[in-house]
Amino acid sequence: MTGTLRRWSLLFLLPALALYLTVVIVPSISVVDYGFFDWSAGQRGRPAGLDNYVEIFTDPELWAALWHTFVLLLGAMAIQLPLGFLFAVLIHKRHPGSGFFQAVFFIPVVLSTVVIGVLWTQVYQAQYGLLNAALDALGLAGLTHAWLGETGTALMSVVVVVGWQYVGLYMLIFLSAMQAIPRSIYEAGELDGAVGWRQTLTLTVPMLLDTVKLSVILVVTGSVQYFNLIWAMTKGGPANSSSVLASYMYVKAFQDNRLGFAAAVATFMLLLNLLLAVGLQRLFRRDPLEPA
């Protein structure tokens, strides 16, 4: 019986392995290889040694993109985690209307990135955009901008939308962790006088430490490869003022047709991502592949 089971199981593993190797593993190994060659017209050319890497790290555009990626990471974290946590706490208190707020806050998470990107491009539009109209109505006409068209505001404008999109997700992640805290812990705390906001600070926050760590890892690794709203709203412009690593790589690969160079950028992103993921897990003492 065990023999038959084993034979079936080996057979059962094959389709998933084939799919996974073709789409995920083999490409992420060959991208490293691609980066050591010159490519033209989609064909591998002469070996380039480390030329691509030398060129990348001497390109001021890469450093700009790296800096913007970092700004995006910090901005997204500063918006998503505190607001997500705050709303989770408020909804967890089960005041009237919390079901409604929970449902509404989650709506942006469900919408597709392109819908959000096209919509917010209109919101930020200079002449007929909702944001400038709201500022005018509040008597703040001096603050209006062509938000996505100016080098000073483009990146932050996109970062705000990235935050807007995912506050609901982190709210939900925190909320489901709070709901998993056993009632008995709260009851014991109440006997010791932990009620209201004291309860939140002394009981809920420490119990959620692991979820907070997980969320930080999610935001960091998500930001390193962030592309979607940047591309849907500014394509990295104007004048590269909102370019990130992913958009930099995309332009090099599919607009300048420099596949080898772009593959080297992709390799750099892969290493950065693995380094940050493993590094943060170490720092937080979590097993890399163990879910919360």
Partner 1 sequence: MRRLPFTALMALWAVVCLGPLVWMVVNGFRGNNDIFLSAVGAPEWAKRVNFADAWVQGDLGRALVMSVLVSSAATVLCGTCSALAGFALSRGRLPHANAIFTFLLLGMMIPTFSVLIPVLTQFQSMGLTDSPVGLMIVYAGFSVSLGVFLFKNAFDQVPREYLEAAAIDGASVPWTLVRVVLPSVKPTIATFAILTFLSGYNDFVFALVLIAGEEGRTLPLALLQFSGRFGTRYDLVFAAVTIGAVPALAAYLFLRGQIQRGVAMGGRVS
Q: How far apart are the C-alpha atoms of 116 and 109, rounded to whole Å?
A: 10
Question: Which of 162, 214 has the CB closer to partner 1?
Answer: 214
CB of 280 vs partner 1, minimal distance in Å = 11
Query: By C-alpha distance, which of 229, 240, 286, 206 is closest to 60?
Result: 240
Q: Within positions 9 to 28, which residues make up the interface with partner 1, using CB under 8 A? A: 9-10, 12-13, 15-17, 19-20, 22-28
Query: By C-alpha distance, which of 162, 146, 135 is closest to 237?
Result: 146
Please, are residues 238 and 150 in contact by the beta-carbon 8 Å criterion? yes
Contact residue for partner 1 among 37, 85, 87, 147 (CB under 8 A)? 87
Q: Does 66 bind partner 1 (CB under 8 A)?
A: no
Other CB atoms within 10 A of residue 166 CB: 22
Candidates 58-66, 141-149, 183-191, 270-278; binding stretch for partner 1 (CB under 8 A) = 270-278
Question: Which of 96, 184 has the CB closer to partner 1?
Answer: 96
Using CB under 8 A, count the residues that bind partner 1.
Answer: 101
Run of H or E including 38: strand 37-40
β-pair partners for 47: 37
Query: At what angle are helices 60-92 and 245-254 packed, to 10 degrees?
Result: 130
Q: Within positions 30 to 49, which residues make up the interface with partner 1, using CB under 8 A? A: 30-31, 34, 42
First to last CA, the chain: 36
Contact residue for partner 1 among 41, 58, 60, 97 (CB under 8 A)? 97
Question: Which of 5, 191 has the CB closer to partner 1?
Answer: 5
Question: Which of 155, 169 has the CB closer to partner 1?
Answer: 169
C-alpha dist (Å) from residue 194 to 176, 207, 271: 21, 14, 45
Q: How far apart are the C-alpha atoms of 181 and 209, rounded to whole Å?
A: 12
Contact residue for partner 1 among 76, 148, 203, 259 (CB under 8 A)? 259
CB of 9 vs partner 1, minimal distance in Å = 3
Q: How far apart are the C-alpha atoms of 93 and 95, rounded to whole Å?
A: 6
Q: Within positions 193 to 222, which residues make up the interface with partner 1, using CB under 8 A? A: 211, 214, 218, 221
Q: Which two tokens stand for residue 218?
A: 């999610």
CB of 273 vs partner 1, minimal distance in Å = 5
Run of H or E including 278: helix 259-283
Candidates 45-53, 138-146, 183-191, 225-233; binding stretch for partner 1 (CB under 8 A) = 225-233
Run of H or E including 216: helix 209-224
Q: Within positions 226 to 255, which residues make up the interface with partner 1, using CB under 8 A? A: 227-228, 231-232, 245-246, 249-250, 253-254
Q: Within positions 137 to 196, which residues make up the interface with partner 1, using CB under 8 A? A: 164, 167-170, 172-173, 175-176
Other CB atoms within 10 A of residue 143 CB: 11
Contact residue for partner 1 among 150, 270, 280, 286 (CB under 8 A)? 270
Q: Does 74 bind partner 1 (CB under 8 A)?
A: no
Contact residue for partner 1 among 60, 127, 183, 187 (CB under 8 A)? 127
Please, are residues 178 and 205 in contact by the beta-carbon 8 Å criterion? no
Q: Does 110 bind partner 1 (CB under 8 A)?
A: yes
CB of 121 vs partner 1, minimal distance in Å = 7
